[in-house]
Amino acid sequence: MYDDTCRFLAEHFSADFASWLLGKAVTLTELQPSELSLDPIRADALIFLESDEAILHIEFQTLPKDNIPFRVTDYRLRGYRRDPAKPMHQVVIYLKQTASPLVYQTSFTMERTRHEFDVIRLWEQPASLFLQYPGLIPFAVLAQSADAEETLRQAAQRVDQIADPRTQANLMAASGILAGLKLEDEIIYRVLRRDVMQESTVYRSILAEGEVKKQREIATNSLREGLPIATVARITGLSLEELQQLQQQIDNPAQN
């Protein structure tokens, strides 16, 4: 849910992310993982945004994983294979505070190979930074502040100033979802309106994506048990093409 919320924000407020991460408000469009020979099922926590000048690769992580440096390097090489002349700016954004040393890793080293990338630990960033841009407001509560509840209240006030009802509802919902990493539900719903959150596109899309993921998990388990693809298609509602891709991943795990 947290990763999906971050993806939604990056997709719909890419100019705000460009201002934050690239230092300039450039026009960015989404680059599909398939264009980099990436299986979409593996891409839940990352997003690629592209301009005429560069590719912005953002990887959101709730908690650190020891394979992140290799994954980032792998994505960079795939981007180079697609367009050797286009630079790629890569940043891993950690959402939840942790003492793990993994969140300080900014490079991958293997024999004579070394690749570097940027890391942002939200809890070290000033909350005021995220309140400057509409698409970044939901991150404010996870940033550095003396009182997280008060920061969420400031975020809600900032969202209330947005004229477009749909944008307002989406940012309210995203703020509430991400606040769950730091605050109790009772506090969140005391500050934010639950009815507005539940009517938002981001809230509904996340529920829908969650259902799709559940069906894919069922499909994967069913295929591993040896059920025919046609049978699994009837059970899950997934297309034959999707199931064939899943079957290939099961049969050839080393290639995924």
Query: Do 25 and 15 meet the contact criterion of CB atoms below 8 Å apart?
Result: yes
Name the average pLDDT for the chain.
88
SS3 content of the chain, % helix, strand, coil (to 5): 60, 15, 30
Amino acid at 67: N
Both tokens of 18, joined, read 């460009």
Is residue 232 over pLDDT 80?
yes
Task: Report CA torsion sign: 146, 149, 151, 157.
Answer: negative
The model's pLDDT over 93-102, given as tens digits with 9 standing for 90+, comes to 999 999 999 9
Name beta bridge partners: 93.
60, 120
Interval 197-222 mean pLDDT? 73
| Residue scoring higher pLDDT (105 or 27) | 105
Whole-number Å distance between alpha carbons of 115 and 176: 36
Cα 29 from Cα 202, distance rounded (Å): 19
The pLDDT value recorded for residue 199 is 64
Residue ranges of E strands in 51-116: 55-61, 88-94, 107-110, 113-116
- Mapped onto helix, strand or coil, the DSSP state of residue 210 is helix
Name the phi and psi angles at 109, rounded to 5. -125, 135
The token pair at 106 is 């900014």
CA–CA distance, 236 with 216 (Å, rounded to integer)? 8
Token pair, residue 227, equals 């059920």
Q: What one-character DSSP code corresponds to residue 32?
A: P
Question: Tens digit of pLDDT for each residue in 119-168?
Answer: 999 999 999 999 999 999 999 999 999 999 999 999 999 999 999 988 99
Strand segments (E) across 82-234:
88-94, 107-110, 113-116, 118-121
Contact residues for 121 (Cβ-Cβ < 8 A; gap 6+)? 94, 97, 103
d(C-alpha 34, C-alpha 15), whole Å: 23
In the block, tokens 């709730």 appear at: 62
Grouping H, G, I as helix, E, B as strand and the rest as coil, residue 50 is strand
For the record, the structure tokens of 201 come out as 């596109």
Which of the pair, 226 or 209, is modelled with greater confidence? 226
φ and ψ at residue 225, rounded to 5 degrees: -80, -5
Q: What is the mean pLDDT of residues 219-232?
A: 90
pLDDT digits (tens, 9 = 90+) for 7-52: 889 999 999 999 999 998 888 998 877 777 765 444 457 899 999 9
Give the pLDDT confidence score for residue 30 in this predicted structure: 87
Beta bridge partners of 92: 59, 119
